[in-house]
A and B are shown apart, each in its own frame.
Chain A
Amino acid sequence: MQTVLTLKRKPVRQKNKNSLWVRIRQHKLYYMLIAPGILFYIIWHYIPMFGIIIAFKDISPYESVMGIINSPWVGLKHFEKFFDSYYFWDVLWNTLRISFLKLIWGFPAPIMLAILLNELKNERFKRVIQTISYLPHFISMVVLTGLISSVLSTNGGLVNEIVKFFGREPIFFLGDVKYFVGVLVASHVWQNVGWGTIIYLAAITGIDAELYEAAKIDGANRFQQMQSITIPSIIGVAVVLLILNVGHILSAGFEQILLLYSPSVYKVADIIDTYIYREGLISMQYSFASAVGLFKSIVGALLVLGVNYLSKKIGEEGIW
């Protein structure tokens, strides 16, 4: 790397002042190509990022964007209000709880499915199962909600028919604090398990076939091969994915919860994002909701940076 730099630097030094401008002028047309995209990032990403300063101000909901600049500063008032409020621990706890449960169930599931898929002998059958398992990944969150509400319906839903078969009363899963989080986790796993196998199956395909040959000659049966070859060779991928997932622990699935929850289950289902949504867009407390959002963004960004550092440290590749 260093040699390349020194090589480049020498000829440039001769006309140091002009060179950058010359190069920029030479690339004028390329700047025109990237201009619309860069403009998009400035308008729809960087202006809202600047707008986050309303978290430190008091803004009335009827102000325009100019109100962001004109409204009075109030320092950390909104943060203090959030941290002191009784909701803070509730929404933080719910967010972490739902995230962890999704991780505990949703993380190992695709690994197991991938290993079992890999053991199928009939290639055609394997491909059909794979294709079927990808289907839920392509449907929208709204359709998922529709499917959940129809499968769990107390009036002829599949699950409640099974419950009734065992002689129990039908259960209103979506309105019951005992079951709601379970529904979130189960539908999350249902939607993502098939798609999650892709990366593991690719890792398994990358295993040298000679390893299996050698193991067979040594008398290892299929379970021993799975245990000593297949599983160890996907552990690296699994660790990286696990670490990356931990980085997103504060996002417990906003759209899914927003579509499914109701006041009767707020106690277990209200997460940071749904709280921001209600306080901000329904109660129109723009500044307060932004403060909560900023808290989440900062902790989230630190987590992502932290886990990426961690995954590099343990010798696996980070995402960048």
Chain B
Amino acid sequence: MKSAIKSSRAEKSFDIFNVVFMVLISLIFILPFWMVFVTSFVSSTELSLRGSFIMFPWKWDFTAYKILLDKNSLVYNAYTVTLFVVVTGTAISLFITSLLAYGLSKKTLPGKTFFTGMIFFTMLFNGGLIPSYMLNKSLGLLDSLWVLILPMMVSSWNIFILRNFFSQLPDSLEEAALIDGASPLKILLYIIFPISIPVLMTIGLFYAVGYWNAWFSAAIYINDVKKLPVQNIMRNIIVSNTASDISTEMSNMTIHKPTADSLKSAVIMVCTIPIICIYPFIQKYFVKGVMVGSIKG
């Protein structure tokens, strides 16, 4: 009896420790975002009065955001580039991925194993950076927005997730339509797609977040600043540690200039806020994707 009480006391203190630990962990996850968020609102006057470390600003100063989201600023322009890439890219990716996955899910298709193996092999082995660079250069894709989409428009991982999903659908779904003489494309559009909407949404989100976060292609293929996506503008600002090239209008500004730190932080926020706002809603689809992916292909 005594030992039971002892262990239950130990369990209780463990519970308390656990909750405290979890709160601390959450703080570690949130604090970096909070610091950057706050810094983006600190005006240069407040900074000079209070020193550099501020957890809560006295006054929320929007100057940095006004400059960033001004129509002439590079960030505004970069946002339009990113939006174009995310929307167009996701649409193309989803379309080609689902066609390919659907075709490969046909058990009777001659050469199915060959094509599947061909896709699988690319997950093991690739030509590497230099040959890809030479190829895209020869295709005339340098400084073209298509270079941000085409070379990464299909992900083998997503192909296999989607193919597995399609091959689990009962054959009887299509048979009736086939007998009626419907073409595979019609079956895909009118029978398969409508019942696959949740999975297609998940795959679409994978692609969309991928396009939103991508920066490396633009870093090596795009020289024209007007065509850089927002991630790359942010990278340039972080690397060069100056904010002077954000806006062409910046030098003629009449209002007091924000600090370089607050501009930098505002850029990070502008890049992150859309993700922070939507991820609580999309994370459950991602979790599902992880689970589907872990069932072997």
- Chain A interface residues toward B at CB < 8 A: 20, 23-24, 27, 29-34, 36-38, 40-41, 43-52, 54, 63-68, 113, 116-117, 119-121, 125, 128-129, 131-136, 138-143, 145-147, 149-151, 153, 155-158, 161, 190, 194-195, 198-199, 202, 219, 221-223, 255, 258-259, 276-277, 280-281, 286, 289-290, 293-294, 296-298, 301, 304-305, 317-320
Bound complex: CA A221 to CA B32 (Å):
38
Once the chains bind, are A149 and B238 in contact (CB under 8 Å)? yes
B:247-292 near A, CB below 8 Å: 261, 264-265, 267-268, 271-272, 275-276, 279-280, 283, 286-287, 290-291
Once the chains bind, are A198 and B130 in contact (CB under 8 Å)? no
Least CB distance from B163 to A in Å reads 11
Once the chains bind, are B120 and A190 in contact (CB under 8 Å)? no
B57 within 8 A of A: no
Least CB distance from A42 to B in Å reads 9
Q: Show 9 A/B contacts (Cβ-Cβ < 8 Å), sorted by A.
A: A29-B185, A31-B109, A37-B154, A41-B154, A155-B52, A156-B39, A198-B287, A281-B133, A301-B125
Bound complex: CA A146 to CA B209 (Å):
18
B119 within 8 A of A: yes
Interface residues on B, range: 35 or more
Task: List, in ascending order, chain B residues with CB within 8 A of A27's CB.
Answer: 106, 108-110
Main secondary structure of the interface of B (DSSP, over half): helix
Bound complex: CA A266 to CA B296 (Å):
39
Q: Which of A125, A138, A318, A319 contacts B275 (CB 8 A)?
A: A138
Least CB distance from A25 to B in Å reads 10
Least CB distance from B95 to A in Å reads 8
Once the chains bind, are B115 and A34 in contact (CB under 8 Å)? yes
Instruction: Pick from B14, B106, B110 the residue with the most CB of A within 10 Å.
Output: B110
A294 and chain B: residue at smallest CB distance: B128
A25 and chain B: residue at smallest CB distance: B110
B188 within 8 A of A: yes
Q: Which of B7, B15, B183, B272 contacts A139 (CB 8 A)?
A: B272
